[in-house]
C-alpha cells in the first residue's frame, strides 16, 4: 500500500472478506507506527461501493426475516445480522479515511478512524467465528444494503457523514445491544453474549470518536453542535430516530440528549 488512503481504498475494494479485514488492520498498524503517509499521487481510487462476495443475497430491509432468540436458528440469524453490520462498519470507517483524506483535519482524526476500522474488522471476525462454531457462516442468510446507503448519501459532506454514521447508526448499537446480551445469556449462549460484550464496549469508543470530530467541525464553523446535528439528520437521514435510548452510554461517548431527544417524532419519514 502506497499510503493510508491507498490502503483504505484497497481494503474497501477487496471482495475477499479475510483479505479485507487483513488489509484494514495492516493499514491501521502501519499508520499508527507512522510507516505510511496520508496520501500519495498514485493512490487507488476510492470505490463507490465496497467489494463483496457473491453471498449473502441483498434484499430490502423489510424482507429480512426475524426469528426468536430462544432457538438456535434465531441466534444464528441475529449473529448473521450483526456480522453484516460489522462488515459494513469496517468499510464505513475505511471510507471516511479514504474519501476525506484531503479534508483540513489533524492527523489524529485518521488515528481515531483507523482504530475504529481495526476494531470493526476484529468484531466481524469474532462474530463470523461464532457463527462457524454454531454450524453456520456469513453469507448463509440474506441481508440488506441500507447501511452503505448512508455512506453514499453523505459522500460529499464530512460533517453529515459524522452525524449519520457514528452518531445515529453506531449509537443505535448502544441502545439495542444490552438487551441482546441479556437474551443471549437467558438462552444459555454465553459465548455469543461474550462476543457482544466486546462489541458493546468498543462501540462506545467509536461513537466517542464521531462525537469528538463532529464537535470539532462545528466549533470550527461556529455552529451549535446539537442544532447542526438536527439539521443534518433532517437533510440526510431516512426515517425517525428510534427510542428507547441508552442515555448513559451515549453520554459517556459525548452524545448528550440535547442532540437527539427532540428528533424522535420530527424527522421526515
Tens digit of pLDDT for each residue in 211-259? 999 999 999 999 999 999 999 999 998 777 888 899 999 999 999 999 9
pLDDT for 150 beyond 90: no
Residue range 139-143: average pLDDT? 94
- Confirm whether 268 is domain-assigned: no
- Confirm whether 175 is domain-assigned: yes
Cα separation, 6 vs 27, in Å, equals: 9
DSSP annotation of 167 reads I
| Residue 137: per-residue pLDDT | 98
Residue range 187-213: average pLDDT? 97
Residue range 201-209: average pLDDT? 97
- Confirm whether 69 is domain-assigned: yes
| Residue 174: per-residue pLDDT | 96
Angstrom distances, CA of residue 96 to CA of 7, 34, 153, 184: 13, 19, 13, 33
- Our CA dihedral for 116, 118, 124, 129, rounded to 10 degrees, sits at -140
Cα separation, 251 vs 269, in Å, equals: 26
User: For the whole model, what pTM was predicted?
Assistant: 0.93
Identify whether the C-beta of residue 90 lies closer than 8 Å to the C-beta of residue 13. no
Helix count and strand count (H, E) for the chain: 11, 0
Please report which helix (H) or strand (E) contains residue 208, including its range.
helix 190-220
pLDDT digits (tens, 9 = 90+) for 117-133: 999 999 999 999 999 99
- Confirm whether 269 is domain-assigned: no
Cα separation, 139 vs 268, in Å, equals: 33
Residue range 48-70: average pLDDT? 85
**Mean pLDDT score across all residues of the chain:** 93
Identify whether the C-beta of residue 175 lies closer than 8 Å to the C-beta of residue 246. yes
| Residue 134: per-residue pLDDT | 97
| Residue 80: per-residue pLDDT | 96
| Residue 242: per-residue pLDDT | 86
Which range marks the domain in which residue 209 is found?
Answer: 4-263
- Confirm whether 54 is domain-assigned: yes
| Residue 266: per-residue pLDDT | 39
Three-class DSSP category at 115: helix
How many structural domains are present in the chain?
1
Confidence of residue 99 (pLDDT cuts 50, 70, 90): very high
| Residue 31: per-residue pLDDT | 98
| Residue 58: per-residue pLDDT | 87
Amino acid at each position: 500500500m502506497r499510503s493510508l488512503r491507498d490502503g483504505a481504498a484497497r481494503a474497501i475494494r477487496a471482495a475477499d472478506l479475510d483479505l479485507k479485514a487483513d488489509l484494514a488492520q495492516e493499514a491501521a498498524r502501519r499508520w499508527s507506527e507512522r510507516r505510511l503517509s496520508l496520501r500519495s499521487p498514485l493512490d487507488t481510487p476510492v470505490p463507490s461501493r465496497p467489494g463483496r462476495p457473491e453471498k449473502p443475497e441483498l434484499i430490502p430491509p423489510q424482507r429480512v426475516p426475524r426469528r426468536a432468540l430462544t432457538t438456535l436458528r434465531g441466534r444464528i440469524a441475529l449473529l448473521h445480522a450483526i456480522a453484516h453490520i460489522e462488515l459494513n462498519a469496517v468499510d464505513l470507517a475505511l471510507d471516511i479515511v479514504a474519501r476525506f483524506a484531503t479534508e483540513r483535519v489533524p492527523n489524529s482524526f485518521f488515528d481515531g478512524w483507523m482504530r475504529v476500522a481495526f476494531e470493526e474488522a476484529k468484531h466481524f471476525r469474532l462474530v463470523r467465528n461464532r457463527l462457524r462454531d454454531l454450524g453456520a457462516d456469513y453469507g448463509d442468510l440474506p441481508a440488506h444494503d441500507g447501511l452503505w446507503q448512508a455512506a453514499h448519501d453523505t459522500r460529499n459532506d464530512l460533517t453529515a457523514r459524522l452525524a449519520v454514521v457514528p452518531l445515529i447508526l453506531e449509537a443505535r448499537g448502544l441502545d439495542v445491544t444490552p438487551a441482546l446480551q441479556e437474551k443471549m445469556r437467558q438462552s444459555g449462549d454465553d459465548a455469543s453474549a461474550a462476543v457482544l460484550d466486546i462489541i458493546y464496549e468498543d462501540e462506545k469508543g467509536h461513537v466517542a470518536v464521531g462525537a469528538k470530530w463532529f464537535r470539532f467541525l462545528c466549533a470550527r464553523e461556529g455552529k451549535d453542535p446539537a442544532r447542526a446535528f438536527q439539521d443534518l439528520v433532517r437533510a440526510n437521514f431516512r426515517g425517525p430516530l428510534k427510542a428507547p435510548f441508552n442515555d448513559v452510554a451515549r453520554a459517556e461517548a459525548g452524545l448528550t440528549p440535547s442532540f437527539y431527544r427532540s428528533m424522535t417524532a420530527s424527522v421526515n419519514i
